[in-house]
């Protein structure tokens, strides 16, 4: 298949659990990291054996905390991808890293493995917010991490921030944004705090110990960030993402274009070969299932695959529209859509598109349909009608 493929690798270990986090991660299981890396390599080989896609153009080490892996372990994984897939010479290879775990020496060795993009979870520049989140770093640690990454040769660096935090004022948020901008990242991801089931933060809000985040204030924070980032030369290209020209994250664009990606590792999701799937959650089970595998598996299945569904055409179209509208600059390109599905989606959803075009939430031209600034705030309403 001529479509480019991406690979997501889920590294499910963290030193401690942040209070807002509902990701599939585990603490105090560092002793499993070595057998986990072997299992991950085994899974990559199984998927690679019948992989029908001609090239891999992005790899993303996410988690969890991928920076808990040694450079040697990262190198072994990337080498396996080189051997089992056709990795393009200019592939984007990203790693998420915890500012506390990384030193110049570590990052220098990681850079030598071919990893060329780093994403650091800054989340806030306010000490009381970092404490509320149980994050392990402070602002000095963050500045050291950025400086170490730059000196180690990372030319592409992302910082994440969270807004809409209980007790957070607009000026608290502005302070975090300014501190983040002072670190001169190439890419910025801003996330509204989600209160996820089972997290301490949700429990504190539900029990009244913390106030419920104010949606109107969060919308003001989003607007403030949009203005500030634009003034500093960052172009918004997705609802939650901004970049200096040329630094857009190719891996995440693959998701938003609804293009194929393999997900390996415990709890990883994938969409490839017309199948959307997820893997078993616990590292222990994952390791057991991928040790001494003798059976043959049809792409993209592996012994760790759970919850696989074949995506029918109607679902694929709906998902492509919903995800594509998140790309604020690119939108849904009409020609690309026609090439993929043999239909113009503007005809397929004429009534919905005309209605939201008339109310100023969408723009439509020969090239693309895009969401407007006003539409971004009401994007869920539009998405619901496209399903």
Q: What is the binding site for ligand SF4 (CB under 6 A)?
A: 14, 17-18, 21, 23, 25, 63-65, 98, 121
Spatial CA neighbour of 56 closest among 248, 283, 264: 264
> Which three-class secondary structure state does DSSP give residue 359?
coil
- Pairing state of beta strands 332-333 and 235-238? unpaired
Least distance from ligand SF4 to the Cβ atom of residue 56, Å: 24
Eight-state DSSP code of residue 125: S
| Smaller CB separation from ligand SF4, 17 or 244 | 17
- CA–CA gap between residue 180 and residue 182 (Å, rounded): 5
Minimum Å gap between C-beta 99 and ligand SF4 is 10
Report, in Å, the least distance between residue 365 CB and ligand SF4. Answer: 40
- Label each residue of 343-358 as H, E or C: CCHHHHCHHHHHHHHH
Give me the least distance between CB of 62 and ligand SF4, in Å please.
Answer: 9
Name the minimum Å distance from CB 13 to ligand SF4: 8
Contact 126, 165 (CB under 8 A): no
Give the CA count within 13 Å in the CB-facing half-sphere of 218.
17
Q: Is 17 or 284 the residue whose CB approaches ligand SF4 more closely?
A: 17
Strands 241-243 and 187-192: antiparallel
Q: What is the DSSP string of 57-107?
A: EEEEEEES-GGGS-HHHHHHHHHHHHHHS-EEEEEEEEEEE-TTT--HHHH
Nearest to 39, CA basis, from 306, 308, 302: 302
Query: What's the closest the beta carbon of residue 346 comes to ligand SF4, in angstroms?
Result: 39
What is the C-alpha to C-alpha distance for residues 99 and 111, in angstroms, rounded to an integer?
16
In the complex with ligand SF4, which residue's Cβ is closer, 21 or 47?
21
Q: Which is nearer to ligand SF4, 26 or 277 (CB)?
A: 26
Instruction: Using the minimum distance from each CB to ligand SF4, give the nearer residue, 120 or 272.
Output: 120
Smallest separation, CB 130 to ligand SF4 (Å): 11
Smallest distance from the beta carbon of 12 to ligand SF4, in angstroms? 9
- Residues forming beta bridges with residue 12, ordered by sequence position: none
Cα separation, 264 vs 255, in Å, equals 15
> In the complex with ligand SF4, which residue's Cβ is closer, 51 or 73?
73
Dihedral pair phi/psi, residue 287, rounded to 5°: -65, -45
Q: Which is nearer to ligand SF4, 136 or 340 (CB)?
A: 136
Q: Is the CB of residue 97 less than 8 Å from the CB of residue 45?
A: no
Beta strands in 164-281 (DSSP E): 187-192, 235-238, 241-243, 261-264, 269-272, 275-279
Closer Cβ to ligand SF4, 51 or 252, answer by number: 252
What is the rounded CA–CA span in Å between residue 188 and residue 122?
10
CB of 137 to ligand SF4, least distance (A): 10
Q: What is the C-alpha to C-alpha distance for residues 70 and 110, in angstroms, rounded to an integer? A: 8
Instruction: For ligand SF4, give the closer residue by CB, 73 or 98.
Output: 98
């Amino acid at each position: 298949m001529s479509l480019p493929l991406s690979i997501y690798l889920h590294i499910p270990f963290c030193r401690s659990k942040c209070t807002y986090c509902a990701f599939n991660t585990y603490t105090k299981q560092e002793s499993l990291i070595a057998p986990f890396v072997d299992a991950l390599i085994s899974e990559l080989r199984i998927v690679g054996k019948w992989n029908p896609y001609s090239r891999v153009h992005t790899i993303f080490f996410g988690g969890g905390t991928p920076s808990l892996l040694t450079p040697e372990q990262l190198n072994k994984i990337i080498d396996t991808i080189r051997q089992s897939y056709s990795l393009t010479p200019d592939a984007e290879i990203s790693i998420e890293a915890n500012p506390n775990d990384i030193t110049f020496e570590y990052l220098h060795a990681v850079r030598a493995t071919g990893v060329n993009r780093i994403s650091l979870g800054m989340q806030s520049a306010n000490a009381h917010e970092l404490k509320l989140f149980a994050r392990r770093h402070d602002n000095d640690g963050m500045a050291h991490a950025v400086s170490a990454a730059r000196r180690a040769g990372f030319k592409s660096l992302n910082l994440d921030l969270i807004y809409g935090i209980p007790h957070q004022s607009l000026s608290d948020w502005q302070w975090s944004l300014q501190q983040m901008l002072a670190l001169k990242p190439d890419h910025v991801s801003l996330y509204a705090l989600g209160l996820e089931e089972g997290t301490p933060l949700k429990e504190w809000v539900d029990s009244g110990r913390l106030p419920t985040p104010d949606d109107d204030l969060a919308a003001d924070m989003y607007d403030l960030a949009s203005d500030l980032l634009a003034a500093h030369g960052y172009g918004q290209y997705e609802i939650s993402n901004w970049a200096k020209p040329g630094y857009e994250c190719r891996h995440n664009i693959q998701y938003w274009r609804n293009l194929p990606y393999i997900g390996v590792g415990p709890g990883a999701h994938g969409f490839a070969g017309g199948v959307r799937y997820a893997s078993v959650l616990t590292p222990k089970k994952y390791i057991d299932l991928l040790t001494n595998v003798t059976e043959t598996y049809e792409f993209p299945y592996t012994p760790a695959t759970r919850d696989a569904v074949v995506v029918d055409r109607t679902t694929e179209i709906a998902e492509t529209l919903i995800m594509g509208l998140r790309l604020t600059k690119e939108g849904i390109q009409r020609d690309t859509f026609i090439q993929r599905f043999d239909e113009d989606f503007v005809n397929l959803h004429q009534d919905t598109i005309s209605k939201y075009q008339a109310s100023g939430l969408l723009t439509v031209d020969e090239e693309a349909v895009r969401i407007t600034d006003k539409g971004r705030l009401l994007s869920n309403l539009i998405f619901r009608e496209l399903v």
